[in-house]
Structure formats: structure tokens, C-alpha cells
Structure 1
Amino acid sequence: MKIFPAIDIKDKKCVRLIKGDFENKTEYETSPVNQAGKYKDHGFKNLHIVDLDGALTGKTVNLDIIREIVSKYDLKVEIGGGVRSINSIKQYIDAGVEKVILGSGAIKNKEFLKESCEQFKDQIALGLDAKNGNLSVSGWKENLNVKTIDFLKEVNHYGISRVIYTDINRDGMKTSPNFDETVKIAELSNCPVVISGGVSSINDIKKAKELNNKKIEGIIVGKAIYDGDIKLDELAKEIDA
């Protein structure tokens, strides 16, 4: 079980949103680069980054920060947030990230998703953000009347290398992830799935491991770290050797 500590970047700072609401955000004192350094010092190997400025603008706004993190620390980085072009993917891959997460751009344009997977083999992750079983896009402001499971069935053969499944109702709420729904997605998916949204305590990490589901690759931990509900020392003990 890979553990992905999270960094959400907005205006060059680390922030966390409640249910993806830009008006409902908490800013933290630490810079994204320093936060990545903390994770590295504690022995984490993977890192989940969302460029919230990119999500709002559709551009790679914080590419310089990503470059600095990748060059400074030997971390496997997955990055998402407003990636809507092949050129943006290329910029991130050239910067040295392991995987680029596609969300709204790929869900609204399946051809873009297909082309991305063909051009960047094993480097494209798909972010599926769901509310009550239906996909949401555009910073979760737009609820598509499309069942998450139906969409995954349509794109399952494209060559996606990772699915990140987020239950929006739980994101930033620290109410535990939606394990049941994630397991359903994992059973259907042709690629490994990462649990996202709602991690509240170290018990959620233990529960994810206890699922013992080979299709579930890892879990993302964000707000619970920043708010001190999960100490990095105890989380680091859960890293697979």
C-alpha cells in the first residue's frame, strides 16, 4: 500500500479545500517545497500534488515549484490540476514527474484521454471525482449525469496506468474514505486504484491495508496531516518497505 501525502498549491502556498470549494480553504505556513522536504525526511517515496491555480486556469501555473520539488528530492510525484493539453503533460513529464493526473479535460474529451495514454505510456493517471455515484468536473462545480462506473467501463481499455477515486462528499471532511465504493471501482478497473478523500486518522490507513485488495495501490492523505490528526512519524511507520 503506497502512501501519498498530499500538497495542494494555491498562490505558491500549501492549502486545503473543503469539498473542493475555493471559497472554503485553509492556508498553511509551510511552502510546497519545504513540505515536500518534510515528507522526504520522513521516508515517504510518493507524493500527490494538485496545482489548484492550474485547475482554475487550465495552465501549468506552478511548473517551477514542481521542477524544484522533483529535482531536490527523490520522490515519485503524481501531479494534477487543470491539465488539458498534450503540451502540459509533456511539460510535467519533462520536469520528471512519474504520472500526470487527468481529470475534467479527459472526462469531457475521451479522445484527449486516449491520445494521452498512447503518447505517454504508463504515465497517465485518471482522476475520477464522484458525488453520489456521478462524476463531477471543473473543480467539482459541474455534476455530470454520468455514473462513474459507466465512464470507467468506456475508457478502461485506453491504457490508463492509475485511477484516483475521490468521494467529493468526504474530501477535506476527515470522515473516512468511501472504501466500499472504491473497492467496486477497483474490481472493475484494468489498472490499480488509489483511495482519495476523507482520511481522518491512522485507522483509515490501517483499514485500507486490511482490505488486502491487490487492485488498490495506495491512499492519499492530506488535511489530516496538516491539521495534526495524523503525525508524520506514525504515518511513516505504515510505509511499505
Structure 2
Amino acid sequence: MIVFPAIDLKQGQVVRLAEGDMDRATIYGDDPAAQAILFAEAGAEHLHVVDLDGSFAGSAQNREAVEAIVEAFPGYVQLGGGIRTRADVEGWFDAGVARIVIGTAALKDPEFVKEMAREFEGGIVVAVDARDGMVATDGWAEVSDVRIEDMARRFEDAGVASLLFTDIGRDGMLKGCNIDATVELAQRTDLPVIASGGVKGLDDIHILSMQAHLGIEGVITGRALYDGRLDLAAAIAMGARV
């Protein structure tokens, strides 16, 4: 199971939000590339990066910071936030991003996402962000009337690499990952699932890793790392035991 340390970007700074609220951001640094190097030194081979400003604006807002991260990090960078057009997708792959995470466009223009998944095999991840079981979009500012499992099923057999499931109510809150909902989603779809939101310590990593055989590909963790509650090297080692 892959452990993805997260770097969320707001105005070029490394931040973490509470429940996806841009007004509840904690700043952890102003050098995203340096943070990426620290994660690499701890053993990370995969990195999850989010352009938070881009999620709300609908286009890249932290391009310079993302490019610096990609240049500094020796492993695979997975990027989300405001990626909604072919030009966006092609531009980020050309810049060296390994996988693209698409959320809002996956709900509003699923055929576009399917086309990108077919064209860039293994390179497209669909974000299924949920608030009370319903899909949220536009930087989590809007909640749709689409259930998460219905959203997920739209992309089966479409060439999508995996689903990224985030329980918004737990994101950045250190409440513990919503393991039951993550496993349930994995069991209801043929696509691998990446867990996100609320990881508070090594116990979450252990429990998720024990469910990897059910389709859990990985887990994203942010605040627990920045607050010193989770040792990244230990988490990676635990995930690698599966």
C-alpha cells in the first residue's frame, strides 16, 4: 500500500485546511520544494500535491510551486486542483507530473475524463470527494446530488488508474480516516481506492494496510505528518509490508 505525503498549496505556501475550508488554513512553510525533499529523505517515493487556489479558480494558480516540487522530488508526483481541460492535462504531464487527479470535471464532464484516461493510460485518478455521502465539487464549495458509489461506477472500465476518496468532514481534523466508507467504496467498484481525510496516526495506516487486499491502493496523509503525530518512515514501512 502506497503512503502519499501531501503538500497542499495556497498562494505558494504549504498549508493544511480544516474540512476543506480555505479560511481555516494552517501554514506549515513557504518552500514547497524543500518540503518535498524532506519527504523524499524520509523514504517517500510518491507525493500528493494539491493546488488549492486552482481548485476554486478552475485553473492552475500555483504553477511555479508545483514545477519546483516536480523538479526537486525524485519520485512520482500526483497532482490535483483546477485541472479541467485537455490543455491542463497535457501541460502537467509535459511538466513531469506522473498522475493527474480530476474531481470537478469528473462530475460535470465525465466523457472528457474518460477520454483523458484512455489517452493517458494509468495517468488519471478520479477524485470522489464526499460530504455526508454526496459528491462535492469546485474546491468542495458545492455539494451535488450524486452519491459517491454512483460517481465511482461511471468510470469503471474507462481506463482510470484509481479513485481518490476523501471524507471532507474529516480532512485536516485528525479524527481518524473513514475506513468503513473507504473499504465499502472499494468493494462496490472494480477500481483501486486511495483513502484520504483524517489520518491521525500509525493505527490508521495499519488498519488500511490490512484492507489493501480489498482494493485499497494507498492513503494520503498531511496534518498528522506536519504536526508530528505520524512518522513518515514508519508509515511507509508499514504500508510496504502488504
The answer, yes or no, to whether TM exceeds 0.5 is yes
Contact 2:3 2:44 in 1 (8 A): yes
TM-score when normalising by structure 2: 0.94
C-alpha deviations, 1:48-101, integer Å up to 9, x for none?
A: 000012112222222232222222321111100011111011111011111000
Distance in 2 separating the partners of 1:67 and 1:139:
21
Q: Is 1:191 aligned with 2:163?
A: no
Report the AA paired with residue 122 of structure 1.
G
Matching residue of 2:91:
91
Indicate the SS of the match to 1:213.
Answer: helix
Contact 2:152 2:163 in 1 (8 A): no
Contact 1:107 1:113 in 2 (8 A): no
Distance in 2 separating the partners of 1:7 and 1:66:
10
Matching residue of 2:170:
170
Distance in 2 separating the partners of 1:226 and 1:90:
32
Distance in 2 separating the partners of 1:154 and 1:230:
35
Please state how far the C-alpha of 1:214 moved relative to its aligned partner.
Answer: 4.5
Contact 1:129 1:166 in 2 (8 A): yes
Report the AA paired with residue 152 of structure 2.
L
Matching residue of 2:141:
141
Contact 1:44 1:239 in 2 (8 A): no
**Residues 237 and 121 of structure 1: CA distance in aligned 2, closer, same or farther (over 3 Å):** closer
C-alpha deviations, 1:131-159, integer Å up to 9, x for none?
A: 11111111112111111111222222221
Matching residue of 2:56:
56
C-alpha deviations, 1:183-221, integer Å up to 9, x for none?
A: 111112232110100000111111111224251111001
Distance in 1 separating the partners of 2:52 and 2:23:
12
Matching residue of 1:122:
122
Contact 1:125 1:163 in 2 (8 A): yes
% of aligned pairs identical? 36
Stretches of structure 1 lacking an aligned partner (at least 5 in a row): none
Matching residue of 2:100:
100
Distance in 1 separating the partners of 2:46 and 2:181:
24
Q: Write the mapping of 1:1-241 to structure 2, written as runs, cut at 5 A.
A: 1-240=1-240
Distance in 2 separating the partners of 1:123 and 1:46:
14
Report the AA paired with residue 45 of structure 1.
E
Contact 2:17 2:172 in 1 (8 A): yes
Stretches of structure 2 lacking an aligned partner (at least 5 in a row): none
Deviates more, 1:180-189 or 1:66-75: 66-75
Contact 2:18 2:172 in 1 (8 A): yes
Report the AA paired with residue 16 of structure 1.
R
Q: CA RMSD in A?
A: 1.5
TM-score when normalising by structure 1: 0.95
Give the length in aligned residue pairs. 241
Distance in 2 separating the partners of 1:85 and 1:55:
13
